[in-house]
Structure 1
Amino acid sequence: MGEQLLVRDAPAYEDVWAPGWALDVRRVVSRDRRGTGDPTLRIAEDGLWRTTTTPDGPATVRLTGSVTALRVQAWGPGADWAGRRVPRWLGAEDRVAGFDADVHPLVARVHRTTPWLRLGSTGRVWDALVPAVLEQKVTGIEAHRTWRELLRLTGDPAPGPAPAGMRVVPSPEQVLAVTDWEWHRCGLDGARRRALRAVASVASRLEAAAHGEDGCAADCADLRRRLQSVPGIGVWTAAEVAQRAIGCPDSVSVGDYHLKNLVGWSLAGRKTDDAGMLELLEPWRGHRQRVVRLLEVGGSMPPKRGPRMSPTDHRRI
């Protein structure tokens, strides 16, 4: 019985990778974690687990070991594709040429003290697009709750011996099959529901647009333009997807409720609007997202005053 279990749970892909820099796996990947209960990303005692879609089908990846010998294991139909993609996830193809951190002392200091920070690319537009749509114009608490409900409703169980409750992002076909009543149970309002259905209907074209003919990542501006051609997808959502799917170093999430004040307060000691934020980031054009990431790690927000935005439970409407 024990031997049968070992055979069943044996990974379809396994390798050991040496990053070559002071990689902090958890901190790099945590930006893609949608709350502590995210069904697609789990940090456990036995490693970091992540599910993903791939051109070959779903996969579960487990990362263990050290920064000098990172063990990569993967299960499922897409195991080989996902396992080989891990270095890109963690920033192996990120290039900092042309980035001058010394333009601002805070940026220089944070850049110097965070050698682990690399901009990774998952290569999967759909996996980044679904949660980004769910996060449109709502609080993080509300978006994370809807994300968990959607995955529990229609996401397939994670391949392999993944921790209990892990799921794979539902396919576009699975999303289109969700009924209005089921959407209501997930707590999704009409606007986000329509946007999600719109991107699901053209998902294959958007996925193909993320890669050039040579297999390299697509141009950031072109991918954002294609995304924004879909009804319900604006500047903010397109930037969030480009950052994660192809590791775009320059895409700024214009329209974010908090980001403009993080940038303004960190770089100039004042609150600002989106135009002011872009003006402050202009010296780093080409690497503006890199600066944002650095400020998310070592920047600061203005003092909080007044009531916080309250989440809306659309299941009760």
Structure 2
Amino acid sequence: MAMSDFGERRAGGRSRLLAMNEMSTPIIAAAPLDPDQCYRAIEAKDARFDGRFFVCVSTTGIYCRPVCPARVPKRQHCSFVPSAAAAEAAGFRSCLRCRPETAPGTPAWAGTAATVSRALRLIEEGALDEGRLEDLAARLGLGERQLRRLFLAHVGAGPQAVAANRRLLTAKQLISDTRMPLADVAFAAGYQSLRRFNDAIRTAYGVAPTEIRRASETQAGSSIRIRLGYRPPFDFNSVLSYLSSRALPGVERIGAGRYARSFNLGGAKGFLTVQPAASGHALEARVTMLDASATALPIRAIAARLRRLFDLDAEPGAIAAAFARDPLIGPRLKRAPGLRVPGAFDGFELAVRAILGQQISVKGATTIAGRIVAKFGEAIAGDDGGVTHVFPSPARLARADLSGLGLTGGRIATLKSLAGAVASGALDFTPRESLEAKIAELTALPGIGAWTAHYICLRALGEPDAFPSSDLGLRKAAGKGEPVPAAALEALSERWRPWRGYAALALWTT
């Protein structure tokens, strides 16, 4: 089946989106924890429960993962919480042995209310490091009190506690796993001053950052290592295979079980590689800066983007259970355990690639993307081969003469309109109050229809419920070779909420 990106070739013109009311989708709360089951899991040190909950030990004031190598505490001293943030909010500090900062994302952080999920992604990217809570709430279309109430109900801690927890755990990982100067660690983790950084570490761990660094066995090196946990199963090779055929020439390189690319985040340029970690359910990223003297290292932003790229926050067990009895999707997921939706490291890059993929083949779109990178991207040196450029900035493409690259006049107009909107700040690739709001924002641009908008939301924003029901490939798969009407597929997809994106991927790829 010939497909331009996920599905078959689609026109780039404007189209009317069928109404979908996200507010009618019920909020999915995390199931209450059963203390006896949790205790049996920590007695067995069962890795399948890693990240699903944390154990707080009253006699030590420490919280641990279920797989902690320390001696199992007595039952009467244990309480259980669904997230690290909830443990921190209750006054417990993280264990230095099992290192909760490396655990997979907890189910309270995935598959809950769509608004809370979007807020968590923004917090992960640093929305509360400098910004105010009321600004975050406004971006999500909520009041500040309403956002706090949602977080307390579904995460077990308020937004600011979650943000503080992420800063703390990021700092702890950078102290232990890198040779970054501690001043750089502080700012990379999101602290606004060294004093706040030192106070937070001392309060949480009872020792100074230098003592944690001294106790670490990490060897010095020229690259920064980031460990990215996930919940198994995870088919890393299938994600690489998908990304490989759509890799941006000169910007991305995929081969031998490894993903590599260049980046430019806030003026900090470098390379990164990602491959499976030597142990545990995790990927390992190695980040090398082009300018060794750079101090504004975007470690948290890189980690958040890589988690979205490889869909590491998915809860495969919950997704599989939701589709288990579905006659169309259930059997497909059984044949593809660990299915993830390939995301994007950079939303603008993905949007450009989506527009290039309208009405032409994957290979044709990739060829044109390579021409754009070679002509307008910034050349860099230092990679071991294949990665030669940084993708051109929105401002550069908005001013660029794109004629002579194999693009139609309409496609050029769409690309320049997109680049101009991103360069001016009128459009960004961060989650908003609803999927419908972002679809409307994207389809307001000339040449971007509902199919392209859903595709961008699915991959660039990590929206799990995005679903391009007009796609011919989906319609054929749903009809077992005979295309069903788009309206019929839209109606059918209602039973797949809030994970319609996974249903789409199962139909497209299995």
TM-score if structure 1 supplies the norm length?
0.75
How far 1:188 moved relative to its partner?
A: 0.9
Instruction: Give the match for residue 436 of structure 2.
Output: 221
Residues 195/282 of structure 1: CA separation in 2 closer, same or farther (3 Å cut): same
Determine whether 1:85 maps to 2:305. yes
How far 1:132 moved relative to its partner?
A: 0.8
Residues 60/259 of structure 1: CA separation in 2 closer, same or farther (3 Å cut): farther
Following superposition of structure 1 onto structure 2, how do residues 69-80 of structure 1 map, counting pairs within 5 Å?
Answer: 69-76=282-289, 80=299
Determine whether 1:142 maps to 2:364. yes
Structure 1: distance between partners of 2:427 and 2:388: 23
How far 1:115 moved relative to its partner?
A: 3.1
SS of structure 2 residue aligned to 1:63: strand
How far 1:178 moved relative to its partner?
A: 1.9
Following superposition of structure 1 onto structure 2, how do residues 159-170 of structure 1 map, counting pairs within 5 Å?
Answer: 160-170=382-392
CA contact (8 A) 2:368 2:406 kept: yes
Amino acid at match of 1:82: I
How far 1:129 moved relative to its partner?
A: 0.8
Which of 272, 294, 314 aligns to 1:61? It is: 272
Which of 273, 279, 304 aligns to 2:491? It is: 279
Following superposition of structure 1 onto structure 2, how do residues 249-264 of structure 1 map, counting pairs within 5 Å?
Answer: 249-264=464-479
CA contact (8 A) 2:394 2:420 kept: yes
SS of structure 1 residue aligned to 2:386: coil
Determine whether 1:294 maps to 2:502. no
Structure 2: distance between partners of 1:59 and 1:258: 37
SS of structure 2 residue aligned to 1:145: helix
Instruction: Give the match for residue 243 of structure 1.
Output: 458
Structure 1: distance between partners of 2:429 and 2:362: 28
Instruction: Give the match for residue 20 of structure 1.
Output: 231
Q: What do you get for the CA RMSD once the two structures are aligned?
A: 3.0
Residues 26/262 of structure 1: CA separation in 2 closer, same or farther (3 Å cut): same
SS of structure 1 residue aligned to 2:225: strand
Structure 2: distance between partners of 1:167 and 1:228: 30
Amino acid at match of 1:238: A
Structure 2: distance between partners of 1:264 and 1:223: 29
SS of structure 2 residue aligned to 1:74: strand
Structure 1: distance between partners of 2:244 and 2:426: 22
Structure 1 stretch 197-206 or stretch 26-35: which is displaced more?
A: 26-35
Determine whether 1:131 maps to 2:353. yes
How far 1:285 moved relative to its partner?
A: 3.0
Residues 250/154 of structure 1: CA separation in 2 closer, same or farther (3 Å cut): same
Which of 181, 187, 198 aligns to 2:406? It is: 187
Residues 121/55 of structure 1: CA separation in 2 closer, same or farther (3 Å cut): farther
How far 1:58 moved relative to its partner?
A: 4.5
Amino acid at match of 1:277: L
Instruction: Give the match for residue 112 of structure 2.
Output: none
Determine whether 1:174 maps to 2:393. no
Structure 1: distance between partners of 2:438 and 2:251: 24
How far 1:153 moved relative to its partner?
A: 1.2
Q: What whole-Å deviation, never above 9, does each CA across 1:242-272 have from its counterpart, x for those lacking one?
A: 011221112122443433212322xxx5322
Instruction: Give the match for residue 324 of structure 2.
Output: 102
Identity of aligned residues (%): 21
Which of 229, 243, 254 aligns to 1:43? It is: 254
Following superposition of structure 1 onto structure 2, how do residues 145-160 of structure 1 map, counting pairs within 5 Å?
Answer: 145-157=367-379, 160=382
How far 1:276 moved relative to its partner?
A: 3.0
Structure 1: distance between partners of 2:459 and 2:384: 23
Count of matched residue pairs: 278
SS of structure 1 residue aligned to 2:283: strand
Structure 1 residues not aligned, in runs of 5+: 1-8, 213-217, 299-317
CA contact (8 A) 1:21 1:115 kept: no
How far 1:90 moved relative to its partner?
A: 1.8
CA contact (8 A) 1:60 1:159 kept: no
Structure 2: distance between partners of 1:58 and 1:34: 25
Amino acid at match of 2:492: L
CA contact (8 A) 1:264 1:276 kept: no
Structure 2: distance between partners of 1:33 and 1:26: 10
SS of structure 2 residue aligned to 1:259: helix
Which of 230, 245, 251 aligns to 2:445? It is: 230
Q: What whole-Å deviation, never above 9, does each CA across 1:192-233 have from its counterpart, x for those lacking one?
A: 100010011110435546145xxxxx5322211111112222
CA contact (8 A) 1:73 1:83 kept: no
CA contact (8 A) 1:157 1:165 kept: no
CA contact (8 A) 2:472 2:483 kept: no
CA contact (8 A) 2:230 2:313 kept: no
TM-score if structure 2 supplies the norm length?
0.49
Q: Which has the larger radius of gyration?
A: 2
Instruction: Give the match for residue 308 of structure 1.
Output: none
Structure 2 residues not aligned, in runs of 5+: 1-220
Amino acid at match of 1:70: L
Amino acid at match of 2:227: V
Residues 53/274 of structure 1: CA separation in 2 closer, same or farther (3 Å cut): farther
How far 1:45 moved relative to its partner?
A: 3.3
Structure 2: distance between partners of 1:79 and 1:160: 19
CA contact (8 A) 2:262 2:270 kept: yes
Structure 1 stretch 224-233 or stretch 28-37: which is displaced more?
A: 28-37
Q: What whole-Å deviation, never above 9, does each CA across 1:106-131 have from its counterpart, x for those lacking one?
A: 42122234332233654632121111
